[in-house]
């Protein structure tokens, strides 16, 4: 006992006396930390420092404040934004013929381009003071989603000027002169912008941009000025073939010291009219057969004045930071909008199609294999909408959460891929035969676009989500890195000493907290609500604690090697991501008023997220380099094993049934899906058949009862069955006519497009013309 007391006294002295602690503990740890500190390039540092920390910080620290989550304002459209959606957007949708756009014109019609300019579709983010709409992020997102359910090519065309590009950069960093000149021209459609970042040798690794701008003197408007001699080669640039103004990212050098002593100034952004001598744009790419404009731009020794740098000469070398801070528009608004549109369209049409398509005398939606796919479609669509509104809402709150938007970009586009694949499977032949009646194929073709752009998904998952999250979201690591990098080593040691004490206390609390919550299965965790969702809050808090613990051990054990252990860090990123996804679902359920009809969707989404957290943790434990540490962590976080399961079949079937039942729930789930009023509208055809057939269910039940009583033989042709049912008084003449009409609509919905010999090659019409002549 006395020995233990002596040890405790010694420990208290070592930890409590500052000089002793710094010499015996902090200084050795400080030196080790500096050695294992991952090397960080200037572009990585700028990416780390850019943006803000929002809800993901709560999740990463092991003790999320759920009341804070519920306290975030629910994003809503203003009256002006709703009016634009109800009028201008609806008018646009009626103008679009996506089959013609994609397969014939390979471009939007001139009248559509003119309408987009005239009505300010390219000016949604531009302030009203410059002639723009100044719409919120949620309005921007909702408009793009709505358009995408009608035409992906049109949605991308609208999306890009309102995403990462000249407008966004000018608003945040432009000089007053640049704003006053360019923003009104962008707002009224006089100029169409594009932004050129990606090149043949620099895609996701933007720091490797080979394009250069050399500071020199040259002639501009008849006089010699200080400027840049630019050379670039860019590709995959959306709107480049039609752009009149080019945003360009390049590396800036000052070899002759015309601006100062620094030779390598870093990544810089400039704005250049495409009519400027030496600027080459116009060669088109053909991305997955979509019709939106995408192409190349090049230039060789193109001279521009320094004033064309976005923000002016003072912003030379600050381009990467500018770009990273503005990425939230693409990752947090535009790409999630496209992904969510896939869900709304797929859920609406697949539910309808599964109800009207029959095999073996039953709607195919009654078969469990189809129900499994439709359960995923419905559950993921609910999740996508929850993430869309929560992420866009964060941007409207003034946040620029780089980790959250990376999570949204990666997981929402991957969920969208799952949804469209399931929808295509259920539609089968209906989905693969191209033509005006096919409402899914173009979405299917275009899915890889969102997965590829704004940082390819593999990169986003393996390097960005946890790579940034571990450093930015951790309460101490980034500050410790700053202390270790401090050129004043004495001050750095003092700062590190204070942070280390807090970090040790934080890690110790997480260790014992994770163990307690694991042993008790989180039964004593507080939930902010009661009812069926209460347990999810408890489990998510437990998993948040487990993530904080495993992240700390990973950074301690692996140090700089962690960012090279991509599969390890990606799994921790998956845990963080699923915690965010589940948070979005819970928040949607609460903000929508805890609708009872939503519960199957909520259960599906949350059980799926918890299961994926379990899978990610299991992979982490199996592959962690230190087996001793891996076993220890698993026993602490999951002392009774990983017991999260995918949703029960009963939940899946309830979700599936909701998709095949007309009503408020189905309408709310798919409210962004465009349904045209014209008789030839593809979505309208299947929707009308679905509604008509649903109304005939009582009549069909009468016929089925008669067949069971053997009044009418089974497996007769439809017309014969109808005639016998009428003859034997099973149904009335009015019911027979209704059933005929519903069946005609059903057959129309099931039909696909046919083309005469030579028609697809454009030969049929000319052959017919010759025969007439």
Hey, is 449 helix, strand or coil? helix
Environment class of 1 (CB within 10 Å of its CB; exposed 0-12, middle 13-18, buried 19+): exposed
Angle at 695 between CA 691 and CA 701, to 5 degrees: 135
Question: Hey, what long-range contacts does 633-641 have (CB within 8 A, 24 or more apart)?
Answer: 633/549, 633/550, 633/553, 636/511, 636/514, 636/515, 636/518, 636/546, 636/549, 637/514, 637/518, 637/546, 637/549, 637/550, 638/518, 638/546, 639/515, 639/518, 639/519, 640/518, 640/519, 640/521
How many CA atoms are closer than 13 Å to the CA of 32, on its beta-carbon side? 11
Alpha-carbon gap, residue 345 to 147, rounded angstroms = 11
Q: Which of 46, 168, 385, 454 is the catalytic position?
A: 454
Q: Crossing angle for the helix pair 733-750 and 718-727, nearest 10 degrees? A: 170
Alpha-carbon gap, residue 29 to 152, rounded angstroms = 54
Alpha-carbon gap, residue 689 to 613, rounded angstroms = 41
Read off φ and ψ for residue 194, nearest 5 degrees: -145, 165
Helix H or strand E encompassing 124: none
Alpha-carbon gap, residue 436 to 225, rounded angstroms = 56
How does strand 212-220 pair with strand 223-238?
Answer: antiparallel
Q: Which of 41, 157, 140 is nearest to 96 (CA)?
A: 157
372 part of the active site: no
Q: What DSSP string describes 547-585? A: HHHHHHHHHHHHGGGGGT-HHHHHHHHHHHHHHHHHHHH
What 8-state DSSP symbol labels residue 533? T
Give the pair of three-digit tokens for residue 292.
Answer: 């939106």
CB within 8 A of 765, min separation 6: which ones? 759
Q: Which of 128, 126, 125 is nearest to 137 (CA)?
A: 125
Alpha-carbon gap, residue 675 to 496, rounded angstroms = 60
Q: Hunting for tokens 């095999």 — which residue is that?
A: 359
- Catalytic (active-site) positions: 454
């Amino acid at each position: 006992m006395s020995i233990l007391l002596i040890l405790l006294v010694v420990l208290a002295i070592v930890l409590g006396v500052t000089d002793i602690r710094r010499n015996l503990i902090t200084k050795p740890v400080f030196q080790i930390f500096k050695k294992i500190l991952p090397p960080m390039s200037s572009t990585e540092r700028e990416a780390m420092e850019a943006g803000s920390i929002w809800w993901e910080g709560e999740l990463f620290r092991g003790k999320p404040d759920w009341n804070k989550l519920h306290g975030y304002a629910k994003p809503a459209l203003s009256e002006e934004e709703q009016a634009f959606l109800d009028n201008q957007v609806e008018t646009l949708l009626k103008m679009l013929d996506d089959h013609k756009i994609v397969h014939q014109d390979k471009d939007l019609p001139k009248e559509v381009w003119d309408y987009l300019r005239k009505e300010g579709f390219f000016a949604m983010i531009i302030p009203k003071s410059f002639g723009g709409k100044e719409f919120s992020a949620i309005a921007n997102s909702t408009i793009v989603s709505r358009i995408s359910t009608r035409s992906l090519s049109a949605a991308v065309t609208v999306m890009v000027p309102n995403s990462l590009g000249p407008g966004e950069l000018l608003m945040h960093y432009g000089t007053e002169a640049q704003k006053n000149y360019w923003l009104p021209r962008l707002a009224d459609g006089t100029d169409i912008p594009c932004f050129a970042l990606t090149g043949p040798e620099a895609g996701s690794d933007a720091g490797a941009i080979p394009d250069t701008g050399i500071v020199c003197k040259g002639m501009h408007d008849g006089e010699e000025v200080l400027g840049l001699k630019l050379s670039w080669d860019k590709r995959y640039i959306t709107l480049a073939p039609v752009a009149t103004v080019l945003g360009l990212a390049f590396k800036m050098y000052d070899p002759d010291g015309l601006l100062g002593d620094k030779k390598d100034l870093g990544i810089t952004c400039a704005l250049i009219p495409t009519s400027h001598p030496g600027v080459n744009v116009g060669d088109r790419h053909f991305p997955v057969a979509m019709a939106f404009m995408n192409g190349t731009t090049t230039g060789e020794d193109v001279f521009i004045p320094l004033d064309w740098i976005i923000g002016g000469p003072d912003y030379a070398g600050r381009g990467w930071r500018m770009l990273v801070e503005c990425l939230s528009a693409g990752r947090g608004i535009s790409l999630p909008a496209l992904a969510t549109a896939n869900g709304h369209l797929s859920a609406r049409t697949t539910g309808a199609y599964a109800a009207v398509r029959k095999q073996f005398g039953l709607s195919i939606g009654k078969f469990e294999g189809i129900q499994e796919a439709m359960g995923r479609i419905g559950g993921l669509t609910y999740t996508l909408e929850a993430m869309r509104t929560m992420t866009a809402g964060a941007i409207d709150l003034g946040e620029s959460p780089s980790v959250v938007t990376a999570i949204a970009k990666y997981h929402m586009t991957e969920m969208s891929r799952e949804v469209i694949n399931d929808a295509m499977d259920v539609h089968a032949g209906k989905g693969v035969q191209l033509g005006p009646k096919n409402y899914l194929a173009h979405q299917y073709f275009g899915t890889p676009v969102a997965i590829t752009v704004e940082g390819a998904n593999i990169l986003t998952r393996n390097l960005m989500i946890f790579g940034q999250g571990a450093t930015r979201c951790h309460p101490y690591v980034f500050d410790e890195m700053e202390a270790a990098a401090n050129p004043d080593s004495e001050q750095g040691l003092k700062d590190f000493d204070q942070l280390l004490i807090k970090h040790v206390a934080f890690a110790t609390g997480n260790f014992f907290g994770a163990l307690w919550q694991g042993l008790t299965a989180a039964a004593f965790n507080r939930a902010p609500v009661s009812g069926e969702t209460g347990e999810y809050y408890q489990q998510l808090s437990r998993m948040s604690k487990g993530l904080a613990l495993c992240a700390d051990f990973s950074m301690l054990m692996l140090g700089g090697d962690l960012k090279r252990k991509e599969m390890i860090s990606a799994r921790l990123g998956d845990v963080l991501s699923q915690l965010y996804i589940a948070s979005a679902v819970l928040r949607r359920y609460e903000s929508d008023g805890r609708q009872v009809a939503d519960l199957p969707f909520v259960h599906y989404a949350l059980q799926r997220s918890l299961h994926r957290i379990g899978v990610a943790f299991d992979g982490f434990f199996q592959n962690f380099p230190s087996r001793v540490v891996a076993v220890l962590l698993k026993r602490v976080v999951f002392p009774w094993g990983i017991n999260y399961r995918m949703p029960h079949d009963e939940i899946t079937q309830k979700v599936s049934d909701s998709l095949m039942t007309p009503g408020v729930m189905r309408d709310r789930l798919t409210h962004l899906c465009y349904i045209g009023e014209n008789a030839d509208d593809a979505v309208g055809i299947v929707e009308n058949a679905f509604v008509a057939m649903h109304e005939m269910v009582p009549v069909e039940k009468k016929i089925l009862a008669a067949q069971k009583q053997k009044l009418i033989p089974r497996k007769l042709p439809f017309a014969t069955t109808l005639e016998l049912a009428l003859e034997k008084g099973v149904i009335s003449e009015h019911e027979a006519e209704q059933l005929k009409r519903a069946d005609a609509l059903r057959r129309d919905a099931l039909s696909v497009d046919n083309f005469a010999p030579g028609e697809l090659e454009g030969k049929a019409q000319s052959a017919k013309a010759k025969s007439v002549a």
